[in-house]
Amino acid sequence: MKTISVVRNVLEANDRIAEMNRTLFDEHGLFVINLMSSPGAGKTTLLEKTIDALKDEMGIGVIEGDIQSSQDAERIAQKDVQVVQINTGGACHLDGNMIRDAFDSLDLSLLDLLVVENVGNLVCPAEFKVGEDVKIMILSVTEGEDKPAKYPLMFRESEVLLVNKIDLIPHLDIHLEDFRTAALSVHPEITVFEVSTKTGEGLEGWFDWLRSRVGTPRAS
């Protein structure tokens, strides 16, 4: 019972901080995404493509989460948007307090969309809120269509699933429709986009979804 109590208290404390973050985001009229996936699924490349497509329409900021290094933040910084790197030093996810520590490095008044690129992990990030409006996840086709069954919480917590690297389907012994079926089996309301961040296929649907959620950007 002591172990269960400690875990519950940790999550409750994080939820309180996440709510404080959410209040601040709402005050600034921000739409905030918690972007999750396993390592190598394509989160940073998706962000690069998204920024290229939308940065002239809306103010975009990024919080990069990694255990070590700043490689992803350096890539995003080349797109001339606000970006902050958070190194967790071993923790497998970002939490509300880590996000709060990044606020001094961002001018939220200039942003319409804030994307938190979480640490690559299919387990922990789904459990910890950071103050986001929605959780979004990316699944690479190379990971296999069994992942929704093996890691159901992340799929249930996510509003949108991007099935990435569909350009590799001809080289794999898998069927693209199986990914959609598997995801819908654990979360029937999830929105699925089948995309290739390499070729750009399917990304326009994702961009339109973002436009609809951000609304009328202050930068427009």
State pLDDT tens for residues 138-156.
999 999 999 999 999 999 9
pLDDT at 220: 46
**Which tokens in the block code for residue 2?**
């002591």
Show the domain range for 6: 2-214
**Does residue 220 belong to any structural domain of this protein?**
no
**Does residue 76 belong to any structural domain of this protein?**
yes
Mean pLDDT by runs of 10 across the 220 residues of the chain is: 58 92 96 97 98 97 94 96 94 94 95 97 93 98 96 97 97 95 98 98 98 77
pLDDT at 216: 74
**Does residue 219 belong to any structural domain of this protein?**
no
Q: What is the CATH number of the domain that holds 209?
A: 3.40.50.300
pLDDT at 90: 87
pLDDT at 37: 97
Beta bridge partners of 174: none
Number of domains in the chain: 1
State pLDDT tens for residues 120-140.
999 999 999 999 999 999 999
